[in-house]
Structure 1
Amino acid sequence: MRALFGKRMRKTTAAAAVAAAAFAALSASQAPGVTDVPSGGRQSTGKVEAPDSASGDDSYYTDLPDLVSPDVDSPGDSVEADTSGIPETVLDAYKKAENALRGDNPGCNLPWELLAAIGQVESGHARGGKVDANGTTNAPILGPQLNGNGFANITDTDGGVYDGDTVHDKAVGPMQFIPQTWATWGQDGNGDGREDPNNVYDAALAAGKYLCANNRDLSKAADLREAILSYNHSTDYLDLVLKWLEKFRKGVDTVPDGTGREPGNRSDDDIPDPDPTPGPTSPGATTPPSGGGATTPPPTTPPTTPPTTPPTTPPTTPTPVTVARLVKSGGPFTATEGTAFASSPKVKAATSSGAGVPKQAVRFAIVGSTQATFADGSKSAVVTTDISGFATAPRILAGEQPGEFVIRATTTEGSRVITADFSATVTARQADALTSATATLTGAPGAAFAETVEVKATLDGAAAAGVKVTATMIKNAEGDPNDAGPYFKDADGKVIRTLTLTTGADGTVKVPEIYADDTAGTYTLRLLANGGGKLDIELKVAAAESPSPSPSPNPTP
């Protein structure tokens, strides 16, 4: 533990007093979902299961902002400096994450100062900004092993890919994501094509999306508290993050990368380390008396039975079961905009002989330019194979962007990465029929048509909402666009003769105003919808008839 986090400092009396007062103030207005968990999110008794939190409720830095805290037990010690300066690259990552969320989820109202507060508490801003030019930490930042000893008990979920531990999970990176949470919420914040929890850009964006989950509006106090507690189920943690949030909202100092000061106090400082020198365990061993004097070992009696002859055949070592390939199952995968895919990709983690490998972690990721996501809004998910070696991706939502993308299944075997790709397609909403009460429009040269056209789109007789309908002025039955005759106007008042419309919730759409040029004649407006819906409207442009001249009176004889 100490090797992971560097030098530890004792919590000061002043820090404890402030934290206790803040905790008391918050107790009366405890956020929904807050459980009675001791400091640091540690459970009070027994072994617990994996918490539903980003960090696994592991330890965190407890230093308070602007706290000058000499060690009261050692008056001669130096005073600890404020640790609130944010390294340049780390601060840039927080702000870029805020900008990204402002575009993707404006209703969340995520402030970068909240990411900074959590980054301060979780890792001291990547240990004082020890990152390279791309924002990746110079060395992995790992939390304690979540083995139930003072923390949650989370059995390994990533095969040690992120945290290097194949027995239990550890929180990873500057925002301290546990592997199973990163598998769901991991992001590529710096555009390098990787989702790396040790990269501050990736981690900050992932933390932002995690905090914005469940349609939270972080400008509301209740949603803000709920979001922070979802990161670590501790009211002490909540109070501490809120204090740093208030601090950063008042302004921050920027410091060069690598020069930031790492905090000293941690929430797990009171957990004793295991005894490095356990007592004797061999049968017959003795423990020295308290005085430290040596004892006389008991006399040994020679065995009366000759030793058994060792076996001539060495014991066999079971052959390890290794994954040789991922066998694909299912498809084709096609869904219409705004719907869910009817089925999901399935793979079998198989040995070279085809036998299934159970308990193998398989990561499914949605790859490509698409709005499709898994049902929880994420782009990736980790699934463990069942007893037969099969893993099925979670339910997939199509989104609102037609096109093709890839669903990629990945697993690791030693240093090898094994993948299997599935093709998926999102098709546009469709209508097989277009109808209108208007069949013909009549107008005068150089003027707008007085009537408007309303069109209804249906699919199998039911109203078709959200369907794209193309309206084009054509010059022949083949549908070639016309370059003369009636036209529309764009937002700048320019002449256009083709535009795209979208039907409303009731399947109807109104055609914008139509204008006639100075050429008289009969023209056609054609409307086409995805799915085969088609409708032609006749447009007649005719000059007004001139009145006939009055007959001349008969001349007077």
Structure 2
Amino acid sequence: MAAHFGSRLRRGATTTAVAAAAVAALAASQAPGVTTDDQGRQTTGSEATPDGNGDGSATGNGRYYTDLPPLDSPTASPSPGTGSTTPAGTAEAGIPATVLDAYKKAETALRSSKPGCNLPWQLLAAIGKVESGQARGGRVDANGTTYSKILGPKLDGNGFALIADTDNGAYDGDSAYDRAVGPMQFIPSTWEWAGRDGNGDGAKNPNNIYDAALAAGHYLCRFDRDLSVQSELNKAILGYNNSQEYLNTVLSWLEYYRKGTHEVPDGTGTLPSHSNDDGQGASPAPSPSPPKTPKPPKTTKPTKPGTPGDGGSTSPSPSPPPPSTPKPPSPTPPTPTDTVDHLEDAGTAKLTATAGDTFDQKVAVRTETKAGKAVAKVRVRFTIVGDTDATFTGGETVATIVTNSAGKATAPALVAGQKTGDFTVRATVVGRSVAGLDYTATVTEPQADALARTSATELTCVPGGEFADQVEVKATYKNAVADGVAATATIVKSADDATENDKGPSFKDADGKTVRTLKDLKTDANGLLKLPKLYADDTVGTFLLRIDTTGGATLTVELKVAAATTTTP
């Protein structure tokens, strides 16, 4: 979605039509899974959309520029000033220096944080071109912040989506309806969770190209997408603005920038000239006709007395009609969100998982009226709160789901991180001030309920000697490999006395000192735990090595120390 900039001049209709047809064919042939909803919009399935607008769009599916690139391939750099003709497309291929730097830095950051996404900076450039004309041709300061806010139109349902205010005007200055903000045109409710600090100044500013480009990159890389796969790329673009025409336009600029581009000074970029709300599109507006000279009104002759048919009288002039009373405007019907009175739990079970695992349960809520009637088509935001590294599927900490016909919204699956303890999943209604619901989720340490040796070899040693074999065990939990499980190994006094023995076999620490208890042990990725070598003192007999794990698994291993047998000749 982009604001209007400058005059709306039109490029040749032939170039635009040919390019549009070519890209439309590409998108149609390589975008499986794209369907059309009952309003003619393109959709890409039922992915959960943590964007807050309910339409699966970062921008609210509003205004964007529809200019297509020239058919001539761009050049990697402008032609030198040697009198030669500048190749076609050079001006269009130029990207303002700071804006281009922001795109490339975002690509580098995503290559590190989400390497499987394969985000090309040219995709950010294509979206930036379509959304804001590369931040109004690069009108940004040295830190990348636009000199003035770039605002889209009011999302009041008049030609665009209807999105009531969600930020009290904090980002867009509008406390009645949301507007898309900044060079990448995020709506406030999406920026609230998707915003990033791309220039390291400690702030997340949608009007800063570094912040906005990095946020756009993360938004496109949701759901573990691989953007090197065409179908995944198409879904990502449609997720940004849910329109087939938008997809075609972005793909055309992506292909254009991939063929070559160059840096131009800030503020000198080429501005787009027309957008998707320009009426009939490519045709220029007709010249206005000269005003016609109004004809004088006809004079009505009075009827003479005795004229047949009038009873011999003069017809009176008709009385002017009374002024019509204007009808009062029809009241705006309430939206589904306006009718929500409260949130109810929808059968959420206890949320518990071990570190690194996916929770078996999901948070589910229902939106209801004051009378307890379910309300469909309401956006519910789920937010992970607290000191945790848990996320929803796809790596995000916020997800927005639209309630179904039963008024129910179910959050994506929770994935536990490595931090153990409790955190909160909070459910709130987007665009409506009603009390939210908090759910406590618990991440426990990895557990094992069974331990077994990986070898049946008897462990024996002579006094003062070294055991030939090291003790190795495998941990399982519910018959599955239990990796990362904490364990303790101790030489105990007896099967009934788990205190540490002061005699018998022992381990050695880094300084060679005797150690009969090992702590902070953990099983590896295969659930295996291999203990250090064991050494015997001068005491003979059978000793016990006890291994305990988190979760209650216990294994006792016999260690025998006996003098070497001699044979009499």
Question: Per the shorter chain, which TM-score range?
Answer: 0.5 to 0.7
1:12 aligns with 11
SS class of match (2:507): coil
1:310 aligns with none
Q: Work out which of the residue numbers 502, 507, 511 in structure 1 matches 2:523.
A: 502
Q: Provide, for residues 59-114 of structure 1, a one-character-per-residue CA deviation record: whole Å limited to 9, x for no partner.
A: 2263646799xxxxxxxxxx9956734453x5565345334433443222223343
Q: Provide, for residues 451-472 of structure 1, a one-character-per-residue CA deviation record: whole Å limited to 9, x for no partner.
A: 2434233445x33443514244
1:75 aligns with none
1:312 aligns with none
Separation in 2, partners of 1:50, 1:23: 18
1:141 aligns with 151
Query: Is the 1:443–1:516 Cα contact (8 Å) retained in structure 2?
Result: no
Cα distance change on mapping 1:123 and 1:319 into 2, 3 Å: closer
Cα distance change on mapping 1:225 and 1:418 into 2, 3 Å: closer
Q: Does 1:156 align with 2:163?
A: yes
1:62 aligns with 67
Separation in 2, partners of 1:303, 1:61: 50
Separation in 1, partners of 2:43, 2:18: 24
Cα distance change on mapping 1:192 and 1:438 into 2, 3 Å: farther
Q: Does 1:266 align with 2:274?
A: yes
1:425 aligns with 442
1:122 aligns with 131
Q: Work out which of the residue numbers 213, 225, 230 in structure 2 matches 1:204.
A: 213
2:548 aligns with 528
- Once the two structures are TM-superposed, the CA of residue 120 in structure 1 deviates from its matched residue by 3.0
Query: Is the 1:454–1:511 Cα contact (8 Å) retained in structure 2?
Result: yes
The farther-off stretch of 184-193 and 423-432 is 184-193
The farther-off stretch of 155-164 and 425-434 is 155-164
Q: Work out which of the residue numbers 423, 447, 451 in structure 2 matches 1:434.
A: 451
1:291 aligns with 293
Query: Is the 1:375–1:395 Cα contact (8 Å) retained in structure 2?
Result: yes
Query: Is the 2:151–2:181 Cα contact (8 Å) retained in structure 1?
Result: yes
Q: Work out which of the residue numbers 245, 249, 252 in structure 1 matches 2:258.
A: 245
Query: Is the 2:165–2:431 Cα contact (8 Å) retained in structure 1?
Result: no
- Once the two structures are TM-superposed, the CA of residue 533 in structure 1 deviates from its matched residue by 0.9
Cα distance change on mapping 1:469 and 1:183 into 2, 3 Å: same
Q: Does 1:338 align with 2:357?
A: yes
Separation in 2, partners of 1:411, 1:229: 24
Separation in 1, partners of 2:393, 2:415: 10
Counterpart code for 1:176: Q
How many residues are paired up? 484
Cα distance change on mapping 1:82 and 1:340 into 2, 3 Å: same
2:381 aligns with 363
Counterpart code for 2:358: T
Q: Work out which of the residue numbers 383, 392, 400 in structure 2 matches 1:382.
A: 400
The farther-off stretch of 115-124 and 451-460 is 451-460
Separation in 1, partners of 2:477, 2:444: 15
Query: Is the 1:184–1:380 Cα contact (8 Å) retained in structure 2?
Result: no
Q: Work out which of the residue numbers 530, 533, 542 in structure 2 matches 1:511.
A: 530
Q: Work out which of the residue numbers 419, 422, 428 in structure 2 matches 1:404.
A: 422
Q: Provide, for residues 404-458 of structure 1, a one-character-per-residue CA deviation record: whole Å limited to 9, x for no partner.
A: 22212334678x6855433221233432222225586345799874324342334
Separation in 1, partners of 2:68, 2:380: 39
Query: Is the 1:468–1:530 Cα contact (8 Å) retained in structure 2?
Result: yes
Separation in 2, partners of 1:510, 1:203: 47
Cα distance change on mapping 1:11 and 1:339 into 2, 3 Å: same
Separation in 2, partners of 1:80, 1:124: 16
Q: How does 1:95-110 map to 2 (within 5 A)?
A: 95-110=104-119
- Once the two structures are TM-superposed, the CA of residue 7 in structure 1 deviates from its matched residue by 0.6
RMSD, aligned CA: 5.6
- Once the two structures are TM-superposed, the CA of residue 129 in structure 1 deviates from its matched residue by 4.9
1:281 aligns with none
SS class of match (1:33): coil
Counterpart code for 2:442: T
Q: Which has the higher contact order (CA 8 A, sep 6+)?
A: 2
Separation in 2, partners of 1:131, 1:362: 37
Separation in 2, partners of 1:57, 1:219: 27
- Once the two structures are TM-superposed, the CA of residue 131 in structure 1 deviates from its matched residue by 6.9
Q: Work out which of the residue numbers 186, 189, 200 in structure 1 matches 2:194.
A: 186
Cα distance change on mapping 1:188 and 1:334 into 2, 3 Å: farther
- Once the two structures are TM-superposed, the CA of residue 488 in structure 1 deviates from its matched residue by 7.8
SS class of match (1:247): coil
Query: Is the 1:474–1:481 Cα contact (8 Å) retained in structure 2?
Result: yes
Query: Is the 1:361–1:385 Cα contact (8 Å) retained in structure 2?
Result: yes
Separation in 1, partners of 2:125, 2:520: 46
Q: Structure 2: give runs of 5+ residues left out of the alignment.
A: 45-55, 79-88, 282-290, 301-316, 323-331, 511-516
Counterpart code for 1:10: L
Query: Is the 2:34–2:43 Cα contact (8 Å) retained in structure 1?
Result: no
Counterpart code for 1:268: N
Counterpart code for 2:11: T
Separation in 2, partners of 1:196, 1:146: 24
Cα distance change on mapping 1:485 and 1:172 into 2, 3 Å: same
Cα distance change on mapping 1:322 and 1:463 into 2, 3 Å: closer
Cα distance change on mapping 1:117 and 1:500 into 2, 3 Å: farther
Query: Is the 1:364–1:393 Cα contact (8 Å) retained in structure 2?
Result: no
The farther-off stretch of 447-456 and 222-231 is 222-231
Cα distance change on mapping 1:348 and 1:201 into 2, 3 Å: farther
TM-score (norm 1): 0.64
TM-score (norm 2): 0.63
SS class of match (2:116): helix
SS class of match (1:5): coil
Separation in 2, partners of 1:549, 1:410: 86
Separation in 1, partners of 2:156, 2:106: 28
SS class of match (1:364): strand
Query: Is the 2:491–2:500 Cα contact (8 Å) retained in structure 1?
Result: yes
Identity of aligned residues (%): 34
SS class of match (1:124): helix
Q: How does 1:33-44 map to 2 (within 5 A)?
A: 33=31
Separation in 2, partners of 1:173, 1:501: 49
Separation in 1, partners of 2:431, 2:11: 47
Counterpart code for 2:220: L
Cα distance change on mapping 1:510 and 1:472 into 2, 3 Å: closer
Query: Is the 2:184–2:216 Cα contact (8 Å) retained in structure 1?
Result: yes
Q: Structure 1: give runs of 5+ residues left out of the alignment.
A: 38-42, 69-78, 274-288, 305-316, 490-495, 551-557
Query: Is the 1:154–1:168 Cα contact (8 Å) retained in structure 2?
Result: no
Q: Provide, for residues 99-146 of structure 1, a one-character-per-residue CA deviation record: whole Å limited to 9, x for no partner.
A: 443344322222334323322332233332547959588424326859
- Once the two structures are TM-superposed, the CA of residue 238 in structure 1 deviates from its matched residue by 0.9
